[in-house]
Amino acid sequence: MKEAGCYDESTNGVVVMVEAHNQKEHIQQVVYRILDANLDRAREGLRIIEEWCRFGLNSAQLVGECKKERQELASWHTPELRAARNTPDDPGTELTHPQEEQRTDIKSLLQANFCRVQEALRVLEEYGKLDNPNMGKAFKQMRYRIYTLESRLMGYERQQLLLRSHLYLVTSPNERLLETVEAALKGGLTLVQYRDKVADDTKLLEQAKKLRQLCSSYGAIFIINDRVDLALAVDADGVHLGQQDLPIAVARQLLGPHRLIGRSTTNLQEMQAAIADGADYIGVGPVYETPTKEGKAAAGLEYVSYAAKNCPIPWFAIGGIDTSNINDVIDAGANRVAVVRSLIQAEQPTLVTQFFISQLTNRVRPQHGKPYI
């Protein structure tokens, strides 16, 4: 018996040719199996993302983009590739990882499936070149489109949650900060800003990481006060800037287009400037004098009424608001408020949170033009 692949003069090299042909056929089938598996993987991941865009975000545009990408993937999924499938002999079907067994929240679910799609597209791009050069080019372009889609979807998700948020907790230093914030989150809080003007950077980073994780586990937006660098370090959802902080344009350049940027305002000129500069939301106040803004005169309920009639972006009344005066603020036209002491110092933060949200969402308000809802 001749050794496989040897040259046999008596058969004019037929053995070599047969072996080479068989090897080529084998490699082609392996490549087909790889392409088939990753086309399935990419389409499945996109479908999971598409379902959230449809039912979670009600975004026809994002649904359409996901569907378009899935259809392009399907156009490459030829009968030859499907025929190469060999699931019973695939050792990968039994492999798993503990992280695949659980998802902590919608964000982690979406990120996991975007990674799944992007990895599959990279495989398709490389192995596709062996079958069809145009396939490699097509999947390279699609991979970049998916990167853009991920960025836009996460930004859209933040914007939608911002619109649904009526209560905004701005923290102050507190020994039981994490416990208090979690209690408020249990009460329905969906927007948290970490603000600490006295801690050093080491403490700020440590606390911000814990708060970021806590907010993520409850599906809440997490904002950092002032510090763009800290927001990037902990992957916060955005920053809130005072009048003396970075210009919004600079913060936007550093943070990218899809993170949230808020701006404090105390009068109509500052409001108009923040809107023109591209703020995603603004603070309106201080409504009442407050030790959080020591030495700053109250803007009063008149500014709240002005915002209700004229502000085209989400805005939060802030400054000295508590359970005793929340209805006066609502009567002035507010349907979103930010609070500090009334929650941070509350004995029962969960109940206080529920009270605020109930008042802001259920109480009948007087008409003040057409506020942004």
Q: List CB contacts of 188: < 8 A, sequence separation 6 or more.
A: 167, 353, 354, 357
Active-site entry in 165, 216, 264, 342: 264
Catalytic pick from 158, 195, 212, 336? 195
Q: Is 10 a catalytic residue?
A: no
State how beta strands 337-339 and 315-318 pair.
parallel
Known active-site residue 140: no
Cα atoms in the 13 Å half-sphere on the side-chain side of 255: 32
E-state strands within the chain: 167-170, 191-194, 221-225, 238-241, 260-265, 281-284, 315-318, 337-339
Catalytic site residue from 116, 293, 336, 342: 293
Q: What is the largest CA-CA distance in the chain?
A: 103
The DSSP symbol for 299 reads: -
Query: Among positive and negative, which fits the CA dihedral 255, 261, 267, 273?
Result: positive
Dist CA 94 CA 84 (whole Å): 19
Torsion of CA 195, 201, 203, 205, to 10 degrees: 80
Q: Catalytic residue at 47?
A: no
- Answer yes or no: are the C-beta atoms of 281 and 316 closer than 8 Å: yes
Token match 């502000």: residue? 311
Strand locations in 65-137 (E): none
Distance from chain centroid for Cα 42: 20
**Residue 169 one-letter amino acid:** L
Cis omega before residue 257 (within 30°)?
Answer: no
Active-site residue set: 195, 264, 293
